[in-house]
Amino acid sequence: VTGADRPIGVFDSGVGGLTVVRALVDALPGESILYFGDTARVPYGTKSPASVCRYSREAAAFLMDRGVKLLVVACNTATAHAFAMLREELPIPVVGVIEPAVRAAARMTRNRRIAVIGTPGTIASGVYDLLLRRHVPDARVYAQACPLLVPLVEEGWIGHRATAMVTAEYLQPLRDLDVDVLILGCTHYPLLTPLIADVMGQPVQLVDSGAPVAAEVRRILEARDLLRAGAPRPAHVFTVSDLPLRFRDVGNGFVGDLIDAVEHVHVDGYDRAA
Ligand code: DGL
């Protein structure tokens, strides 16, 4: 398998990156995806930047070894801590989820008051703040870490009343700030869009990185002549570092039964140089 026929590599700490897979499959139906969910080490959002960099490097090395043509870092926490490193180290194009979301938010805001929610690691990194100020002069940025949302989503508690309560608790402080855009700065959060939209109310537009990331991937593949042409329908491959069955059940809920078999792989200490 060479060139355009190679898969697009996508990784996240768990099921969250599947929200990006959904957008990629919709926008690029000719492409096959090789997904890795680091379910043995989820969550990334409460780990140190050094650990997240190590995990990201191992995930990338694993996907590179399987011959991916482009890497999507479908995790905001990994993008915040490891994107620059991966882009420098890898010989293929690397797409993160933060910059495309920031650009979408910059286009959407009218009053330049923007809220962003994410994991503690993403929010503490200050990356959203930095990039939003670069793209939106005079932006007022309000950031809120939501540490409990990732475990609730991994558990599949998408519409559960406990999740609704926790979501409301986190978003309450953002409600009176007159923001017109809220960035879902964690790829697990689009699963909670109905709950989040409900708490924030009508005038607030939600930014999900999925579609902007897919558009960016298309642009890069086109520019490099790596876009795969139509049929036959490609097979997607899903790999995880632990608990394959729960991943499939929770994951299929929102990627429309795209996941058939889930392969259990070991990336701990994985090194491409080997
Ligand atoms: N989906 C992730 C993110 O976008 C990872 C969350 C986590 O593992 O804490 O940040």
The pLDDT tens digits for 138-172 are 999 999 999 999 999 988 899 899 999 999 999 99
Query: Could you give the CA distance from residue 197 to residue 182 in angstroms, rounded to a whole number?
Result: 10
Residue pair 179/152 in contact by the 8 Å Cβ criterion: no
Question: Which residues are catalytically annotated?
Answer: 75, 186
Number of the ligand 1 atom closest to the C-alpha atom of 118:
10
Q: Given this model, what pLDDT does residue 154 score?
A: 86
User: Does 17 score more than 80 pLDDT?
Assistant: yes
Please state, rounded to an integer, the average pLDDT across all residues of the chain: 93
Ligand 1: which atom is nearest the Cα of residue 74? Answer: 4
Q: How far apart are CA 197 and CA 47, in angstroms?
A: 28
CB-ligand 1 contact for 76 (6 Å cutoff): yes
Q: What is the pLDDT of residue 54?
A: 97
Instruction: Check pLDDT > 50 for residue 196.
Output: yes
**16 close to ligand 1 (CB < 6 Angstrom):** yes
Task: Give percent of the chain above pLDDT 90.
Answer: 83
pLDDT at residue 114 greater than cutoff 90: yes
List the single range of 3-7, 54-58, 115-119, 247-251 with lowest mean pLDDT.
Answer: 247-251
Please give the structure tokens belonging to residue 271. Answer: 């090194």
**Which residue of 47, 76, 123, 153 sits with most ligand 1 atoms within 8 Å of its CB, as the best mutation to test the pocket?**
76
Q: Phi then psi for 131, rounded to 5 degrees?
A: -70, -35
Handedness of CA 52, 54, 55, 61 (dihedral sign): positive
Distance 243 CA to ligand 1 centre (A): 17
68 pLDDT above the threshold of 90: yes
Q: How far apart are CA 73 and CA 217, in angstroms?
A: 11
The verdict on the CB of residue 125 being under 6 Å from ligand 1 is no
C-beta separation of 83 from 98 below 8 A: yes
DSSP codes, 135-161: HSTT-EEEEEE-TTHHHHHHTT-SS-H
Asked if residue 35 has pLDDT above 60, the reply is yes
pLDDT at 273: 47
- CA 129 to the chain's CA centroid: 18
Q: Quick one: CA dihedral 8, 13, 15, 18, positive or negative?
A: negative
Radius of gyration of the chain (CA): 18
Question: Is the C-beta atom of 13 inside 6 A of ligand 1?
Answer: yes
For ligand 1, pick from 18, 75, 207 the residue to mutate: most ligand atoms within 8 Å of CB.
75
Q: Give the largest CA-CA distance in the chain.
A: 54
Pairing, β 94-96 against β 33-37:
unpaired
Pocket lining: 75 vs ligand 1, CB cutoff 6 Å: yes
How many Å apart are CA 147 and CA 98, to the nearest integer? 18
pLDDT at residue number 274:
43
Q: Which one has a higher pLDDT value, 201 or 182?
A: 182
**pTM for the structure as a whole:** 0.95
**C-beta 117 within 6 A of ligand 1:** no
